[in-house]
Amino acid sequence: MKIKNPVVKGFYPDPSICYAEGKFYMVCSSMQFFPGVPLFESEDLVHFKQIGNVLSSLSQVDLHNIPSSGGVFAPTIRYNNGRFYMVTTNDSLHKNFYVYTDDIYGEWSEPIFVDQGGIDPSLFFEDGKTYFMSNGDDTDGRGCIFQSEIDIETGERLTEPRPLWNGNGGRYLESPHMYKFGRYYYLMAAEGGTEFGHMITYARSANIYGPFTPYKGNPILTNRDFGGHQTHIMGIGHGDLVTNSEGETFMVCLGFRIEDDWVPYHHLGREVFLIPVKWDGEWFTAGVSGNVYEEMDIPVDSMVKPGTPDTDYSISMPFNKDDRLRLSYVRDYKAENYDITDDSITLTTTEIPLTKQDSPTFVGVRQSEFDTELSVNVTKTLGEAGLTIYMDDNEHYDIARVYVPEKDMHEIIVRYQVGDATAISYREKLHTEDVVKLIITSTSTEYEFAYSINGQIRKLCKAQSKYLSTEVAGGFTGVFGGVYATSKVMFGYEDYDVNPGEKAVFTEFNFRQG
């Protein structure tokens, strides 16, 4: 069956997957955004539905004032003896921990910490024992995968971490996952950095502590030698294997789509790709000659039900239960600043703007398609209330309705924040106290800003999407489209502080994607 990649679009990096009770369950990184670690369910590996967020309570994860692209890195999900486990890193605090649940649709436990360094932790269960692995450096300063045995009830290490494998020679050895197929243990990892040189490698051993013999065809999967005219998919790496009830093996991995043939920038984030795996004796290969394409022939025919609709990433009011699972906040979630109903979002302004490494009053949804239209109605309010296309603190585009106390009037502004540069691209007095619709449309290479009063649309200006890309902004996230409110109105050359605590009301939120 020919499927189209990515199978999950937008900022959903570092996928990990397991098979349990007849279904597939997948988790992804969430970095500084809350709730943490989105959780997906699928019956066929092609159609994924978000069913929750693993870290749904602030008691489970500390995101207070962490830097952008800090926080929750590279989760792994595993199923053992009727229980699901999710293990991850709070990279900003250098702590590895796991949580668990016996009900995949319910709440997860409080964190259990493991005294082992490195990032990208993973679990492997065998014969009543639990093995914990993560990356690090060996005594010679080389990247290495380390493993210890732990008590799964307490997180206590039962053995000292032992080095397993130094990888295949690429930089940034990470993403270790252990599997048992037949008589061999297989250790799969990522190398090259989560950029254009990213790749997946593996080795095998008859003993869980090695020595591990690398696959002679490493890297098993990479698009590092492609250009945009061959495929728009780059950065392939960080994979996880899963086996279905028929014994067939598949891989999910991350990758990103560049904006155009000769425009090597990506701003939607790292996404989830499905890859065919083939066994040749006791070694395996992946992809098409080790590469990944937008369209791939993958043997999932028997799992896909006829007529199953493709995933729709659009979201609009009235919100339903599934919509609410997709709403994200930046760092600490201060519930008192949000009143979200099916038909409205009411935000309480604070002195924290989007540019501060803190918790601005913001709620957004991942942008998952290049061609989108984001719109919302906003009422008159003191302070600043608007729409934003948000990559991180230092890179975002905003269109807002603002109150200028010095002039006792409201204005419409469009602001570009790129690094240390703040530019007001458009500023106009608002000649009405009526509700104003704010609008942002996008293609793969640009965003256009407009507003509407009583159905009359006024187009204002455009901005290039590449300035919100990872290649410009840095970090590991992708863009969100959302609403925000603040009492600090920032023009760059003249800023205003309005009393915090004012209410900004948004209605008819609509984020059409695709």
Query: Tokens 């699972």 sit at which residue?
Result: 325
What span, in angstroms and rounded, lies between the C-alpha atoms of 88 and 119?
Answer: 8
Provide the total of helices (H) and of strands (E) in the chain, helices listed first: 2, 40
- pLDDT tens string, the chain, 514 residues long: the values are 999 999 999 999 999 999 999 999 999 999 999 999 999 999 999 999 999 999 999 999 999 999 999 999 999 999 999 999 999 999 989 999 999 999 999 999 999 999 999 999 999 999 999 999 999 998 889 999 999 999 999 999 999 999 999 999 999 999 999 999 999 999 999 999 999 999 999 999 999 999 999 999 999 999 999 987 789 999 999 999 999 999 999 999 999 999 998 899 999 999 999 999 999 999 999 999 999 999 999 999 999 999 898 999 999 999 999 999 999 999 999 999 999 999 999 999 999 999 999 999 999 999 999 999 999 999 988 899 999 999 999 999 999 999 988 888 899 999 999 999 999 999 999 988 889 999 999 999 999 999 999 999 999 999 999 999 999 999 999 999 999 999 988 876 677 788 899 999 999 999 999 9
25: burial class by Cβ within 10 Å (0-12, 13-18, 19+)? Answer: buried
What CATH number does residue 467 fall under? 2.60.120.200
Q: Are residues 219 and 319 in the same domain?
A: no
Q: Are residues 320 and 218 in the same domain?
A: no
Determine, yes or no, domain membership for 89. yes
Determine, yes or no, domain membership for 269. no
Domain end call among 226, 249, 279: 226
Nearest to 235 by CA among 480, 26, 478: 478
Q: Are residues 152 and 42 in the same domain?
A: yes
Hey, which residues does 329 pair with through a beta bridge?
A: 34
Please give the tally of structural domains in the chain.
Answer: 2
Q: Are residues 457 and 320 in the same domain?
A: yes
What integer pLDDT is reported at residue 274 of this predicted model?
A: 98
Q: Are 471 and 381 within 8 A, CB to CB? A: no
Q: Are residues 319 and 217 in the same domain?
A: no
What CATH number does residue 133 fall under? 2.115.10.20
What span, in angstroms and rounded, lies between the C-alpha atoms of 242 and 239?
Answer: 10
Determine, yes or no, domain membership for 467. yes
Q: Are residues 35 and 136 in the same domain?
A: yes
Determine, yes or no, domain membership for 54. yes
What span, in angstroms and rounded, lies between the C-alpha atoms of 387 and 379?
Answer: 13
Quick one: residue 492, left, alpha or beta (phi over 0 = left, psi -120 to 50 = alpha)? left
Determine, yes or no, domain membership for 58. yes
Q: Are residues 80 and 202 in the same domain?
A: yes
Q: Are residues 207 and 326 in the same domain?
A: no
Domain end call among 182, 205, 226: 226
Q: Are residues 219 and 337 in the same domain?
A: no
Q: Which residues belong to the active site?
A: 14, 174
Q: Are residues 204 and 332 in the same domain?
A: no
pLDDT 10s digits, 341-397 = 999 999 999 999 999 999 999 999 999 999 999 999 999 888 999 999 999 999 999
Q: Are residues 38 and 147 in the same domain?
A: yes
Domain end call among 193, 226, 259: 226
Report CA Rg, the chain: 23
Determine, yes or no, domain membership for 121. yes
Q: Are 496 and 475 within 8 A, CB to CB? A: no
Determine, yes or no, domain membership for 507. yes
What integer pLDDT is reported at residue 406 of this predicted model?
A: 81
What integer pLDDT is reported at residue 499 of this predicted model?
A: 84
User: CB under 8 Å to 444, separation ≥6 — which residues?
Assistant: 259, 260, 263, 370, 371, 465
Length of the chain: 514
Q: Are 277 and 286 within 8 A, CB to CB? A: yes
Neighbours of 358 (CB within 10 A): 16
240: burial class by Cβ within 10 Å (0-12, 13-18, 19+)? Answer: buried
What integer pLDDT is reported at residue 431 of this predicted model?
A: 85
Q: Are residues 178 and 38 in the same domain?
A: yes
What integer pLDDT is reported at residue 496 of this predicted model?
A: 77
Determine, yes or no, domain membership for 124. yes
Hey, which residues does 295 pair with through a beta bridge?
A: 4
The two structure tokens encoding residue 74: 């590279």
Domain range for 159 is 15-226
Q: Please state whether the predicted TM-score (pTM) of the whole model is above 0.75.
A: yes
What span, in angstroms and rounded, lies between the C-alpha atoms of 314 and 511?
Answer: 5
Quick one: residue 220, left, alpha or beta (phi over 0 = left, psi -120 to 50 = alpha)? alpha
User: Is the previous residue joined to 299 through a cis bond, with omega within 30 degrees of 0?
Assistant: no
> Strand order in 213-214's β-sheet?
174-181, 184-191, 199-205, 213-214
